[in-house]
Amino acid sequence: MDGTAKSVELATEPVVGRPSHEIASTGSGSSKRSVRGSHRLCCTRLGLGSTWAFLFWIDHSKERRENPQRLILIQIPASIFLLHNDYCPTRRVLLTGSPALKPKYTLQLSKKLAISVVLSLLTFSLIGTQILVGAADLSDKEEYVHDFFNTPPYGNWTLIEKPMFPLYFNQSQIPIGSNWTVISPLAANHTYHAYFYGKWIDRGSTPKTDYDIYVYNPLGELENYRTESAGLPEHLGTTVDRPFFVPRYSGNYSFVLRNDPKESNASQQATFMLIENLETNKWQKTYIEGKQNDTPIFNTSRAFEFATESQHIEVWIRVPETLDMYEARLYLMANPKAGMGETLNDLPLAWEPGLYGEIRQPYGGYNLESKEYRGNAYASCEFYGQDMLMNYTSPVKSKSLYHLAFIGEKGSGKIDFLVKTEFGKAALRPVDLPSRVYPNNETALTFASNSTDLKYAALDYSVYNWANYTALNMHLTNNRTCTTKIPGQAAGTTVEYKVQATDVLENILTYNGSYTVKYGSQLNITLKTKAIPIGDNITLTGLTTPPNENLAINLVFTSTNTTFEQIVYTQNNGTFTASFRPTTQGNWIVQAVFGGNNMLYESSTTPIRFKVDPPPFLTLYGAYIYAGAGIGAGTTVMALVYIKKRRE
């Protein structure tokens, strides 16, 4: 996880209504799709003890291109439901009506229905009878997860209005050869984690249950299907090798869970889970509404999941001034290496009991109720617009799965939030810093983040050892690079600077540096001769530009096995001379080096070659020659004396 500077809008508004396809629930195993283009007023009754909840919707789809209006749920005592049976019978059926029913008539019908309900409610409120409107006493899951048994158009099906609740299937709930359809609104191009597991998963040699899954989009088209063999979990990603499902359209998606009549021998317990997945280290957005009369409404709660190998997690939440948040919660849901949860496509699946609120510390307890378990970490607002931070360190290593839940209190608005799992890796690095800065020239400085996107950067510089300083805003040339220019300065000035940048993960990145403004310098040397006999001196002259007196020039003489250094100083006109007597014969080089000072940059010459030759012949053998000459002369004299003596 790389981060970007833009926030991602997460799904908030539902797209709910009757799906546009139908899977036969008979034991024949056949399937069909039907196009429903009529306008119908639909109703179903959900038994809730002494009260009835009536679910109304208007189907105005045309050639499957539009979705029905959102479901309207009204809960009232059964004894006061005074509507005509032709409009809505007291059992779960689809309302009768002409396939050619006009929208205008449908609207009139819905108005009559609404008026009847309102009059009934007003009547009984006047006589002191308690009437329940909405689902004040229902949990969030009970409010937005609706089960239908033997009900058109799908037989057995469940509507999950918000994709964040687990759906539990008892043993024998989906008999061999039958289906159960799960319907939920999804947003196009968002990332969802859908998985179906439970006791039916059996990787042994004698698995019993074989569930297949067919996924239909809002147009009624088969967008995906998975038919693994018995006992093996289905990979419900967009492709087999991807863990996440990314819908192509916005609207109601239908997941048809079929107990394969040919391959299955049982109907074992299962859980279906569908939840939006978050990319960590990236800012996200979602819409939250507070409670009304202390009762949660549709957008009061939101939940997401994410997986990470980081033990340390921070969740940053920016709350608008129009919203007061009740809580943000973090639940550790799985760590397969610790024996909690499973892995599919290298992604953890939640520890199943934890999805239903069971807690085995530090795992589970997932819920969206204000009075229930708050999770491993939580944060709350004391007033409107108060930002929140959750900081959690997991006791377990390796990849873990988390659920992140938000619950509103009052008001409404979009929150920005960030799940941060990268710490200490982000750094600011210089990009091609100038090696030399000359007097009165602007100096461009550029820096880049090594792993995260930047959202702001500034540079402070001082020419007075930070006794005072000047602040400059830096320009973000792309998501990860910032640059600015420091004005030109006089020679001899040392400029110190500090860069501070903030990235999208709220990291503060810094870099400190300095440079000294100087003139450039040049250095030249000339040899009087390029060859000398051994024992003679090699003499050179040199010049520095610009001319300066008393500059130290280092002369380096080098042969195969010998190096000799000599320091000379310049005259006021920048010239210098030097003489050196080599001690060995052969090839030598000499180079002049100026190390620089507070006003001038260093410089050096290119190496110059010279040769040290052997001494001349007479110099080398003269003594022998002279000695030989003396002995020869003496011998001649003695011979002459001897001859003379004989003659006498």
Report pLDDT digits (tens) over 453-501.
Answer: 999 999 999 999 999 999 999 999 988 999 999 999 999 999 999 999 9
Q: What are phi and psi of 631, to 5 degrees?
A: -65, -40
Q: What is the arithmetic mean of pLDDT over 350-377? A: 97
Q: Which two tokens stand for residue 3?
A: 């981060």
Angle at 363 between CA 359 and CA 368, to 5 degrees: 65
Compute the distance between CA of residue 180 and CA of residue 254 in angstroms, rounded to an integer.
10
Instruction: For the chain, give the mean pLDDT.
Output: 82
Asked whether residue 374 carries a pLDDT value surpassing 50, the answer given is: yes
How many CB atoms within 10 Å of residue 58? 22
Q: What is the arithmetic mean of pLDDT over 42-53? A: 47
Compute the distance between CA of residue 73 and CA of residue 53 in angstroms, rounded to an integer.
7
Asked whether residue 88 carries a pLDDT value surpassing 80, the answer given is: no
In the block, residue with structure tokens 């033997």: 150
> What pLDDT sits at residue 38?
36
Is residue 233 reached through a cis peptide bond, with omega within 30 degrees of 0 on the bond before it?
no
Q: Which two tokens stand for residue 612?
A: 């040290």
Compute the distance between CA of residue 386 and CA of residue 41 in angstroms, rounded to an integer.
44
Secondary structure percentages of the chain, helix, strand, coil, to 5:
10, 40, 45
Compute the distance between CA of residue 214 and CA of residue 237 in angstroms, rounded to an integer.
12
C-alpha closest to that of 273 among 213, 201, 197: 197
Compute the distance between CA of residue 532 and CA of residue 525 in angstroms, rounded to an integer.
17
List CB contacts of 508: < 8 A, sequence separation 6 or more.
Answer: 500, 501, 502
List CB contacts of 413: < 8 A, sequence separation 6 or more.
Answer: 287, 288, 319, 320, 321, 322, 323
Compute the distance between CA of residue 506 and CA of residue 453 in angstroms, rounded to an integer.
10
Asked whether residue 83 carries a pLDDT value surpassing 70, the answer given is: no
Compute the distance between CA of residue 44 and CA of residue 22 in angstroms, rounded to an integer.
18
C-alpha closest to that of 233 among 194, 189, 262, 187: 194
Q: What are phi and psi of 322, to 5 degrees?
A: -90, 5
> What pLDDT sits at residue 324?
98
List CB contacts of 206: < 8 A, sequence separation 6 or more.
Answer: none
List CB contacts of 381: < 8 A, sequence separation 6 or more.
Answer: 319, 324, 325, 326, 388, 409
> What pLDDT sits at residue 634?
58
> What pLDDT sits at residue 628?
56
Q: What is the arithmetic mean of pLDDT over 8-24? A: 45
Asked whether residue 579 carries a pLDDT value surpassing 60, the answer given is: yes
Compute the distance between CA of residue 363 and CA of residue 354 in angstroms, rounded to an integer.
7
Q: Which two tokens stand for residue 523?
A: 């250095």
Half-sphere exposure of 298 (CA within 13 A, CB side): 15
Q: Residue 623's pLDDT band (boundaries 50, 70, 90)?
A: low
Cα torsion 366, 367, 373, 374 to 10°: value is 80
> What pLDDT sits at residue 91?
29
Contact 188, 248 (CB under 8 A): yes
Q: Which two tokens stand for residue 471?
A: 């602040």
**pTM for the predicted model, two decimal places:** 0.65
> What pLDDT sits at residue 617?
65
Asked whether residue 576 carries a pLDDT value surpassing 50, the answer given is: yes
Is residue 175 reached through a cis peptide bond, with omega within 30 degrees of 0 on the bond before it?
no
Q: What is the pLDDT of residues 117-137, one digit of tens each?
A: 444 444 334 433 333 334 446
In the block, residue with structure tokens 């006061």: 80
How many CB atoms within 10 Å of residue 106? 18
Contact 238, 224 (CB under 8 A): yes
How many CB atoms within 10 Å of residue 606? 10
Q: What is the arithmetic mean of pLDDT over 504-529? A: 95
Contact 558, 589 (CB under 8 A): yes
How many CB atoms within 10 Å of residue 589? 13
DSSP characters over 39-87: -EEEEEEEEETTEEEEEEEEE--STT-SPPPPPEEEEEEGGG----TTT
In the block, residue with structure tokens 């340390």: 312
Compute the distance between CA of residue 157 and CA of residue 256 in angstroms, rounded to an integer.
9
Compute the distance between CA of residue 322 and CA of residue 413 in angstroms, rounded to an integer.
6
- Residue 75 pairs in a beta bridge with 53
Residue 574's alpha-carbon distances to 541, 556, 569, 570, in angstroms, are 11, 19, 9, 5
> What pLDDT sits at residue 639?
61
Q: What is the arithmetic mean of pLDDT over 227-253? A: 92
The helix (run of H) or strand (run of E) holding residue 627 is: helix 617-647
Asked whether residue 76 carries a pLDDT value surpassing 80, the answer given is: no
Could you give the residue ranges of the DSSP H alpha helices within 226-363?
Answer: 352-355
Is residue 320 reached through a cis peptide bond, with omega within 30 degrees of 0 on the bond before it?
no
Q: What is the arithmetic mean of pLDDT over 300-325? A: 97
Contact 112, 41 (CB under 8 A): no
Angle at 518 between CA 517 and CA 522, to 5 degrees: 155
In the block, residue with structure tokens 């997401």: 304
Side by side, the strands of the sheet bearing 538-545 are 522-527, 538-545, 575-580
Q: Residue 616's pLDDT band (boundaries 50, 70, 90)?
A: confident
DSSP state of 30: -
List CB contacts of 127: < 8 A, sequence separation 6 or more.
Answer: none
Q: Residue 9's pLDDT band (boundaries 50, 70, 90)?
A: low
How many CB atoms within 10 Å of residue 71? 19
Compute the distance between CA of residue 93 and CA of residue 622 in angstroms, rounded to an integer.
134
> What pLDDT sits at residue 390?
97
Q: Which amino acid is at 305?
A: E
Specify the higher pLDDT residue, 307 or 96. Answer: 307
Q: What is the arithmetic mean of pLDDT over 151-169? A: 95
DSSP state of 100: T
In the block, residue with structure tokens 């009624």: 220
> What pLDDT sits at residue 42?
54
Contact 217, 223 (CB under 8 A): yes
